[in-house]
Amino acid sequence: MPFSHHSHSGQFCPGHAKDSLESIVQLAIARKFHTFCLTEHMPRGEEDYYPEEIEAGQTPSWMIANEAGYFQEAQRLREKYAGQIKILIGFECDWIRDGSRTLVETSLGRLPFEFFMGSIHHTKTVPIDYDREMYERARELAGGTDERLFEEYFDEQLGMLEELKPVVVGHFDLIRLKSDDPERSFTQWPGVWERILRNLDYVAGYGGIMELNSAALRKGMSEPYPKAEICREFLARGGRFCLSDDSHGLDQVGLNYHRVLEFVDKVGISTLHHLDLADGETPADERFPRTVVRSVSVEEVKKMRFWT
């Protein structure tokens, strides 16, 4: 799958990722990617900094300057490598607490981004994918069980979806990563499953695109985000899918895409979608007037140069 809608670099996400943004784009070109979307993290409030950000002495002004530097470099790279790869410039949002929408809108107002990835990495304002200790803290705040935490996660996700209606929804079931059993079926908990179906209805209803995120595979799980049982339900609702490697460095660009292709066939997905830029066409979202959605059959994807 020569598309990715989700990526990070060590240059603009220090401590969390590695390698320069240009080296990542160069590798994507070498691996024959058709479209590679850049989605560094948006600035967050100081109360939500990660330990390595605090240790590095990062400040709100640093985050704003980093975002501006990222956008400028992304524009330079797009111009430099025009004709070799399509680059869209976006960001990954962090929906954490009251005020998160304001931070997202501030980023959108500050720079002419072309889309954003709608993600949740926190529940009860605590990171749920950082380490097991923080996951357990969030679980205690949610009621002490994975089941209660999963319910809270999908409730908070709905809030993000309703407030932001992101063009692309990031790692829909990330909550399973640090849980007691990341492979468990969500259907074993009726309250959790009902919330998942409700959220899928909402995403399908406004036309959001669900990313198939290969990062779950490199983190030891047998299926990408989201699991097959979720993908089948979204497909039944007319939902659309795109592809992401969620790379955090050179060693993860396109990683495990062959396994994602096998998963796509298993689930029964026959059409994939990707973002593009065009003038004079109906945009995917009025906030991004040049961003459009293209479709491509899985059979056509299998014939693309990426695989050779």
Residues 138-153, mean pLDDT to the nearest whole number: 98
The model's confidence at residue 292, banded by pLDDT at 50, 70 and 90, is very high
Strand order of the β-sheet with 240-244 is 3-4, 35-41, 86-92, 115-118, 168-169, 209-213, 240-244
Summarised one tens digit per residue, pLDDT across range 223-235 is 999 999 999 999 9
Q: Spell out the alpha helix ranges (H) of 165-279.
A: 190-206, 215-218, 228-236, 257-267
Instruction: For 72-98, give one letter per residue: b (16+ CB within 10 A) or e.
Output: ebbeebbeebeeebbbbbbbbbbbbee
**For residue 36, is pLDDT > 60?**
yes
Query: What are the tokens at 60?
Result: 């709100």
Confidence (pLDDT) at 14: 84
Token pair 């050779």 is found at 308
Entry pTM: 0.96
Confidence (pLDDT) at 234: 98
Specify the amino acid at residue 283: P
**For residue 71, is pLDDT > 80?**
yes
**For residue 95, is pLDDT > 80?**
yes
**For residue 301, is pLDDT > 70?**
yes
Q: What is the DSSP letter of 177?
A: T
Query: What are the tokens at 23?
Result: 């080296």
Architecture of domain 3-307: Alpha-Beta Barrel (3.20)
pLDDT over 70, % of the chain: 100
Contacts within 8 Å (CB) and 24+ apart, 219-223? 219/177, 220/182, 221/176, 221/177, 221/182, 221/183, 222/183, 223/263
Average pLDDT of the chain to the nearest whole number: 96
Summarised one tens digit per residue, pLDDT across range 161-171 is 999 999 999 99
Range of lowest pLDDT (45-49, 119-123, 166-170, 288-292): 45-49
Confidence (pLDDT) at 1: 56
Summarised one tens digit per residue, pLDDT across range 242-277 is 999 999 999 999 999 999 999 999 999 999 999 999
Q: Are 223 and 263 in contact (CB under 8 A)?
A: yes
Q: Domain locations in the chain? A: 3-307
